[in-house]
Amino acid sequence: MSTTTSTKQIKYPWWYGGAAGIFACVNTHPLDLAKVRLQAAPLPKPTLGRMLTSILKNEGILGLYSGLSAAVLRQCTYTTVRFGIYDMLKEHLIPKGQLTNMAYLLPCSMFSGAFGGLAGNFADVVNIRMQNDSALEPSLRRNYKNAFDGVYKIYRYEGGLKTMMTGWKPNMVRGILMTASQVVTYDVFKNYLVTKLQFDPTKNSTHLSASLLAGLVATTVCSPADVIKTRIMNGSGENKSAMQILVSAVRKEGPSFMFRGWLPSFTRLGPFTMLIFFAIEQLKKHKVGMKREDYE
């Protein structure tokens, strides 16, 4: 995510991705909540609008932010790690003249996404459980007070590390797909807009256009892994493997199962992607947390 017109490759703080992720997460959480509940809901599934209306009616305004603490914890782990490692690899491994070359960017993004998915898995388990808790029967609810309470209860009473690593394989796959389809396509689209269509690299419109296109690609690429991951972590997978869930769901629901919730996913991931890259570009523009000697 380096500025293509810069004559000097500036080393930005490793935490920019996580900070931007928290900003985007807080602003799009209701959409993410609705997406998770739609993916875990039985057939026939309601529309996104009806799901949001139902949450408002039954749980009130605060219900739209169920599990927010876990979602923030997920950004502090998953997003911070994948963006941080990606930028570090770009800085140290990719030649300066190849910063928009897919042959270099894809391996770096896949490696970063795998580590991010693994690092944030425990937070993802808590996040999905907290978001879907109110949709369960009262007797089945876990009633975590916040993310840290959820981590403690899972570790102490619900299977410990094994439970916290539930769904780590599809989560790593999703991390790989998300990072490759999100950060790489943002870099590539931004470079194309600047070099081919003469967009101004400093303009917000350039950043938002590139991030919207990246969000479209990321939603489509990640949809199958995202649906499977949600079902496993929520417990609706009945301890089946990812492959067993995939085969069973395709048999019962058809191939469209893999893209169930695509529209609510894009409705959430599109704005999320736009906001996270917008925030990153603003942090870079204003050199937040940097000393003058770091960029002069």
Burial 238-271 (b: 16+ CB within 10 A, else e): eeeebeebbeebeeeeeeebbebbbebbbbbbbb
Task: Say what the pTM is.
Answer: 0.82
- Segments in the chain forming alpha helices (H): 16-40, 48-59, 68-74, 80-92, 102-119, 121-132, 147-157, 161-164, 168-179, 185-195, 204-234, 242-253, 262-285
Q: State the DSSP code for 77.
A: I
Give me Rg for the CA atoms of the chain: 19
Q: Assign residue 13 a region: left if phi > 0, alpha if psi is -120 to 50, beta otherwise?
A: beta
The pLDDT value given to residue 47: 85
The pLDDT value given to residue 5: 43
The pLDDT value given to residue 205: 94
Identify the CATH homologous superfamily for domain 16-294: Mitochondrial carrier domain (1.50.40.10)
Element (H, E) at 97: none
What sign has the CA pseudo-torsion 191, 108, 275, 28?
positive
- Taking CA 175 as the corner, what is the angle to CA 68 and CA 277, rounded to the nearest 5 degrees? 65
Count of alpha carbons within 13 Å of 119, Cβ hemisphere only? 21
pLDDT tens series, the chain, 296 aa: 544 444 466 889 999 999 999 999 999 999 888 887 887 777 777 888 899 999 999 999 999 998 899 999 999 999 999 999 999 999 899 988 888 889 999 999 999 999 999 999 999 999 989 988 887 888 889 999 999 999 999 999 999 999 999 889 888 988 999 999 999 999 999 999 999 999 999 999 999 999 999 999 998 888 877 777 777 776 654 567 777 777 877 787 777 667 776 877 788 889 999 999 999 999 999 999 998 877 77
Q: Where are the domains of the chain?
A: 16-294
CA distances from 199 to 5, 144, 182, 215, 243 (A): 12, 47, 20, 19, 44
